[in-house]
Structure formats: C-alpha cells, structure tokens
Amino acid sequence: MSMEESAYVRPTFTKLPFDKKERILDVAIDEFSRCGYEKASINRMVGRLGIAKGSIFQYFGSKKNLYFHIFEHAVALVKRSLKRVKAGTEGEDFFIRLAKSLQAGIYFIRRYPRIYQIYLKMLFQEDFPFRADLLKTIRLFSIDYLRPIIEEGVADGQLREDLDPELAAFFLDAVLDRFLQAYCVAYMDSGLGLYQADEKAIEARIKDCIEMVRLGMAAGGPPASESVAKSMEHRA
Amino acid sequence: MSMEESAYVRPTFTKLPFDKKERILDVAIDEFSRCGYEKASINRMVGRLGIAKGSIFQYFGSKKNLYFHIFEHAVALVKRSLKRVKAGTEGEDFFIRLAKSLQAGIYFIRRYPRIYQIYLKMLFQEDFPFRADLLKTIRLFSIDYLRPIIEEGVADGQLREDLDPELAAFFLDAVLDRFLQAYCVAYMDSGLGLYQADEKAIEARIKDCIEMVRLGMAAGGPPASESVAKSMEHRA
DNA sequence: CGATAAAATGACCAGGTGGTCATAATAGGG
DNA sequence: CCCTATTATGACCACCTGGTCATTTTATCG
C-alpha cells in the first residue's frame, strides 16, 4: 500500500519520515471527513499538526492535490478490500457471497469510518471538478465487482436465467449502498435500527435483506431459505 | 401553497409584490442547488437580482433562514406530490402503486430539478446544524408514505404475509431513492442508462425494477407478470 | 403639501480562506 | 568546519464571506 508515487505528492513529502507522513495524512483525513472539502481548513490542519502552513503547500502544492491524494489512497483501500472478499468467496453460493460482501462493507466502514465519510460527502457535491472522475472510478469498480458475481450466479443456476445482469447490478448496488449508508448516517434506516447497530443486529438484518433480494416481496413464492443464516454463523 | 407564514421570513418580505418574491426565491434556489449551502454566495445572489445585499438580510435575517425557508417550501412540495399519488392510487394493486409512486418521483424531479439537487447536497453534509431535523422530516415522511401502502399490500394478500413491514419499507426506500438519484446524477446508474433518460426508457426500467422487487432474483420462482406493464401504458 | 413610517441601499466590518515567498534553519558532502 | 542544497517557516497577500447599520429613498396618510 505504498503511496510514494502519487501524482499529487511532491518529492519533499515522499522523503519525509514515515511517521510524520502518517500523522499529516491522518490529520488531513480527519479534517476532510469532518468538514467536507469546502469547509476543511488548511489553517486548522497545520494548527493541529504544529507545522507551518507553507509546508503543506510544499508537500502537495494545493488543497485540491491533498484531497485527491487522500482520495486515491481511499480508492486503493476499497479496491483491496473488495478484491479480498471476491477471492475469498470464489465458488460459493451467490447469496452467501452477497451477504459476505455486505458484511465486508460494514467491516470496512468500522475500520475506516472517516474514509467512508469523505466518500459520502463528495457524492452529491458535483461542483468541484474531477468529482466525475472520482465517482466514475468508484462506481465503475462497484459494477466490475458485482457483474461477474451475478453472471456466475446465473451460470450456476442460482439466479433466474432470464435475469438482466445490468438491472441486477443496479438493484444490488442500490440495496447494498443504502444498507451501508443507513449504518453510518442517522435517519437513513427507515426505522430498521441499522444506524450504528451492533454486530448481532447487523448480521440479522443482512440476512433479512438478502432473503428479500432472493425471494422478492410478492406472495406465493417459495418459502424462505435457511442457507444464508447458516453460512453466516461460521464467521462470527 | 402560501409561504407567507413561514418562521424564517420577516414581514417585510411577505409584503413584497408576488413577482419580486418569486424572483428572489428563484435566484436563491438556483444558487443553493448549484453550489450547496456552504459555497452559495449571498453576494452572487444580490448581484444577479440587482438588489442590495442588506435587503436579503432584511427579508430573511440570515443565510441560514433563507435556506430553511426554501427547504420548508421544498418539503411542502414533496408532501403535496406524495399525497396526490397516494390518494390517486388508493385501492390499486400494490406493485402498480409502487410503479406509479416511482413515476411520480421522476415527474417531480423533472418539474423541480433544482429542489431535488438541494436535497441531495444536504444529504451527507452533516456539518451544519438542523441537518438532522431536515433529514428526519423527509425520511420519516417517506416512511409514513410507504408503511401504510405496504400494510395494505399484505392485508390484500399481494405481499407475503410474513413480510416485515419495516424491512420492506427500508428495502423499497433504498431502491426507489437510488432510482431517482441515478436519473439525475451521473454514474449512479450502474450502466443501466437511467441518467437523464427519456420517458420511454424510464417507464421500461421502472417496470423492470418493480418486477425484481416482486419476484426477487432467485431461480425457481413464479414467472414474471405482465400486470405492471399493462397498467402503466394507460397513463402515457 | 409635509410628516412620519417603512423599506432599500451599499460602504463597511471582522474574520477566514487558499496560497506565496523571502528568510531562517537544517542536513549532507567535501 | 564550511559551503551548498534542501526544507521549514510564518508573516503577508488578495480575495471573499456573512452580516451590520447609518443614511437615503420610497410609500403612506392626514
């Protein structure tokens, strides 16, 4: 996870001792996650860091570059996390994979809550340039992640064979994303109690949600299965 | 749709000629929708309006009040729109109601695109106070809207009787919301082509999505129905 | 008309912003 | 130890912000 060769960092920063680099990025991430891009203040950062303001501009050139560098870092973390889940669930049942992917999302947010905050705050602030690029990268990756899993599910006969993979990807993206949002933003959970819920509650709700994805809401379908619940128990 | 008695408006503004009031609110809505709350500039507004800066503060007291007033207005519009759809689909099939609700959302956004933008930009910028209140109002209303419809669907036997209404509300909220977001924010549609799509495409995709909500994704369920498609044709 | 009340105005304010750059401190090499 | 190149520094800049308020303009009414 080296960030040395980032396009947004000047060599001066690269040569810094590791600890100092980490501290700087940590404070910057904290500031951006708390305030969003616009309200984040370089003055406040250097105040907390105890370094000169000029140094930040020596390291990154501009506020925007600093933000992009952090974003780049964040994207790398997400990609790595998704890759691991994908590889770690290869060949498993489609709905199990789905449940584990969602669970992994929750873990990621627990581990890097500030990074998820930064992402959320950027989501609908289309004003600043490159948002399109940033968003494109993330969303496209989410599709690149889901599509193959869906297609495998169809190939294996777990999903209806007439399933439109694009529609399914959109649908799953919607539900998974909202689940994560509900977990860490108040009033997004429609009273389900997802907001900052504990492990147990999350696990149960993931199971419920996946069941609903599986069977839909209409009456007259097949009965609810127990497979997701069973397989999730193992990893707690 | 009178806004006269708003808590955020001073009498001086109320007494203004209707046209001037409209123009002021129009410019303010435009500014907030483009820039979000933080970046929106009172200077720019009065520049475009050709009035003195002091006047805005005479009318609203503060930037925040102006924003709240507009938000209040927006919430009223949404409530009205939802009420109409609900009343206008009373007694119809659950999934038809769902499709029509989503369609109504699209109409609303087409008619008031800037208001939806304001809402989106506020969504995850939790910095400024009262965001909690604003969000609470909107989300709770969304639940108040969906819950009864779901319960009627269960009572009528269209939905599985063991359906958890809270979970269903969350689930539908997730899908409907994302559908609207994908319609008006780039890269949110997972390649489905929803972004600024035309009437025909939207209608088709609504149908597809509702079918997926109905039947789920698993193989072996009942075949897709034609009822939603048929009933939607009538209103085009 | 004149007097009074109400509304519009814009110069002005303090505070904050991202960003700069001459200068000072430090590090590295001979 | 000195000289040079690199890095750190913070005073300073122009700019913009939301907000104020004394003053002027406009409307109201007798």
The pLDDT, as a whole number, for residue B26 is 98
Residue B222 makes CB contacts below 8 A (sequence gap 6+) with: A218, A220, A221, B215
Hey, which residues 26-45 in chain B have their CB within 8 Å of chain A?
34-36, 38-39
Q: Where are the alpha helices (DSSP H) in A89-130?
A: 94-111, 113-123
The pLDDT, as a whole number, for residue A236 is 36
Strand C footprint nucleotides (protein C-beta < 7 Å): 6-12, 16-22
The pLDDT, as a whole number, for residue B126 is 67
Pick the CATH number of B68-233 from 3.30.70.20, 1.10.540.10, 1.10.357.10, 3.40.50.720: 1.10.357.10
Cβ–Cβ contact B152 with A under 8 A = no
| Average pLDDT of the residues in B93-107 | 97
The pLDDT, as a whole number, for residue B139 is 81
| Average pLDDT of the residues in A204-216 | 97
Quote the CA–CA distance of A158 and A160 in Å, as a whole number: 7
Nearest to A188 among B127, B139, B153 (CB): B139
| Average pLDDT of the residues in B168-185 | 96
The pLDDT, as a whole number, for residue A4 is 56
B147 to chain A nearest CA, in Å?
10
Q: Which residue has the higher pLDDT, A222 or B186?
A: B186
pLDDT at A235 over 50: no
The pLDDT, as a whole number, for residue B233 is 52
As given in the structure block, the two tokens for residue B86 are: 């609900």
pLDDT at B1 over 90: no
pLDDT at B130 over 80: no
| A-B contacts (CB, under 8 Å) | 193
| Average pLDDT of the residues in A175-179 | 97
Give residue limits of the domains in chain A. 67-233
User: What percent of chain A has a predicted confidence (pLDDT) above 90?
Assistant: 79
Ordered DSSP codes for B45-62: HHHHHTS-HHHHHHHHSS
Quote the CA–CA distance of B83 and B142 in Å, as a whole number: 11
pLDDT at A227 over 60: no
| Domain A67-233 sits in CATH 1.10.357.10 | yes
Q: What is residue A220's DSSP assignment?
A: T
Chain A: residue nearest B137 by CA? Answer: A187
pLDDT at A209 over 60: yes
Q: What is the pLDDT of residues A43-94, one digit of tens each?
A: 999 999 999 999 999 999 999 999 999 999 999 999 999 999 999 999 999 9
The torsion angles phi and psi of B226, rounded to 5 degrees, stand at -110, 0
Indicate the range of A143-152, B3-12, B24-33, B189-198 predicted with least confidence: B3-12
Q: What is the pLDDT of residues B50-67, one digit of tens each?
A: 999 999 999 999 999 999
A135/B166 Cβ within 8 A: no
Q: Return mean pLDDT, chain A.
A: 90
Q: Cα–Cα distances in Å, from B53 out to A2, B19, B50?
A: 50, 19, 9
Q: How far is the CA of A24 from the C1' of C20 (A)?
A: 21
| Average pLDDT of the residues in B127-137 | 77
Q: Are B146 and A87 in contact (CB under 8 A)?
A: no
Indicate the range of A112-121, A151-160, B134-143 predicted with least confidence: B134-143
Quote the CA–CA distance of B54 and B149 in Å, as a whole number: 48
Which residue from B126, B120, B114, B63 is spatially nearest to A39, judged by alpha carbons? B126
Q: What is the pLDDT of residues A5-52, one digit of tens each?
A: 688 999 999 999 999 999 999 999 999 999 999 999 999 999 999 999
B36 to chain A nearest CA, in Å?
7
Query: CB-based burial of residue B159 (10 Å sphere; 0-12 exposed, 13-18 middle, 19+ buried)?
Result: buried
Quote the CA–CA distance of A224 and A216 in Å, as a whole number: 10
Q: How far is the CA of A47 from the C1' of C10 (A)?
A: 36
Angle (CA) B158-B161-B163 rounded to 5° is 100
